[in-house]
Amino acid sequence: MKYYLDIDGQKIPLQIIEERRRSTRVALGTKHVILRIPKIPLTGTNIDKHVEWAKNWLRQLKATKPHVLERYQSKKQYQDGAIYTIGKHEFVLNIKRENRQSGTIQYDFKGGLNIVIPNKDSYDEQLFIQSLIIKFAQTYFLPFIIERVTYYNVQYFKKPIENIRLKYNKSNWGSCSSKKSLNFSVRLFFAPDDVIDYVVIHELAHLIEMNHSDRFWKIVADIMPDYKEKEHILKINSGKYDF
């Protein structure tokens, strides 16, 4: 069973699962809140009691963690003529539909993104546009991340780097391989510059310590003493920093 809960004006998707259990439990799923309730004959009134309990639980959770429900915000809409913002960068979306199978995206260097998509009904148009914008962002922001990596490497590390890549990654903000390849999530560019710099420093520190030992964190702290604040910003805005 699926419901939508109104939590301070935000519609939160709720999935109710009946199972053999004695107590009620709430968990934050990726796409919806999950309410697990005992599998017994239920009337509408009893279900409402469980739902109301879940609603109160979510309100209390949000009071202590204000950003915890941001993951359930409606996806961004890509409309012709709309301004799309990634961090400090604004782009005007110029979307056209043509009789074709593939899509294209081109930057006009005046702030416009010229997007051409197939004119057909049998696909998710918004998801298709999103994939094109992500592809563009990986190319557009690559010089920016290379510049930040180069700056901090020259200033503090002076280590050889095999390559630097931008990917669309939701499992982490960056990674460093044993072959000295640095990968960063393009989602980072929704974050402030100092937060981006923290992730750069974090991954560069792995060129010295391929772990999260005390030695590793000392390297990070010596360069950015308030790094924990940056980590907190990434944690509470993980759902917001996305396409």
Domain closes at, from 118, 136, 154 = 136
For residue 106, pLDDT over 80 is answered with yes
**Which of 2-16, 41-55, 77-91, 217-231 is predicted least confidently?**
41-55
Q: What percent of the chain has pLDDT over 70?
A: 96
- Both tokens of 5, joined, read 């809960």
For residue 67, pLDDT over 80 is answered with no
80: left (phi over 0), alpha (psi -120 to 50) or beta: beta
Tell me whether residue 243 is in a domain.
Answer: no
In this predicted structure, what is the pLDDT of residue 74? 64
Confidence of residue 219 (pLDDT cuts 50, 70, 90): very high
In this predicted structure, what is the pLDDT of residue 93? 98
- Both tokens of 210, joined, read 């391929």
In this predicted structure, what is the pLDDT of residue 81? 96
Q: State if pTM tops 0.85.
A: no
Straight-line distance from the first to the last Cα atom of the chain, in angstroms, rounded to the nearest whole number:
29
At residue 85, φ and ψ (nearest 5 deg) are -110, 130
Q: Which residues pair with 184 in a beta bridge?
A: 166, 174
Domain count along the chain? 3
Highest mean pLDDT among 17-21, 64-68, 113-117: 113-117
CATH number at residue 185: 3.30.2010.10
- Residue 59: domain span: 2-72
* Mean predicted confidence (pLDDT) in 73-87: 88
Domain closes at, from 48, 72, 96 = 72
For residue 24, pLDDT over 80 is answered with yes
Could you tell me if 150 and 192 lie in one domain? Answer: yes
Could you tell me if 229 and 178 lie in one domain? Answer: yes
Could you tell me if 123 and 159 lie in one domain? Answer: no
Encode pLDDT of 47-57 as tens digits.
Answer: 888 899 999 99
Could you tell me if 121 and 166 lie in one domain? Answer: no
Confidence of residue 90 (pLDDT cuts 50, 70, 90): very high
Residue showing tokens 């409402």: 48
For residue 146, pLDDT over 90 is answered with yes
Tell me whether residue 78 is in a domain.
Answer: no
Tell me whether residue 156 is in a domain.
Answer: yes
- Both tokens of 47, joined, read 């279900």
Element (H, E) at 130: helix 125-140
- Both tokens of 108, joined, read 């006009």
Better-predicted residue by pLDDT, 146 or 2 = 146
Burial of 191 (0-12, 13-18, 19+ CB in 10 A): buried
Highest mean pLDDT among 14-18, 168-172, 197-201, 230-234: 197-201
Could you tell me if 148 and 163 lie in one domain? Answer: yes
Domain closes at, from 136, 162, 178 = 136
Q: Are 114 and 105 in contact (CB under 8 A)?
A: yes
In this predicted structure, what is the pLDDT of residue 72? 80
For residue 198, pLDDT over 80 is answered with yes
Distance of alpha carbon 187 from alpha carbon 178, whole angstroms: 23
What DSSP designation does 41 have?
-
Could you tell me if 16 and 95 lie in one domain? Answer: no
- Both tokens of 57, joined, read 């639980």
* Mean predicted confidence (pLDDT) in 13-19: 89
In this predicted structure, what is the pLDDT of residue 47? 81
Better-predicted residue by pLDDT, 72 or 186 = 186
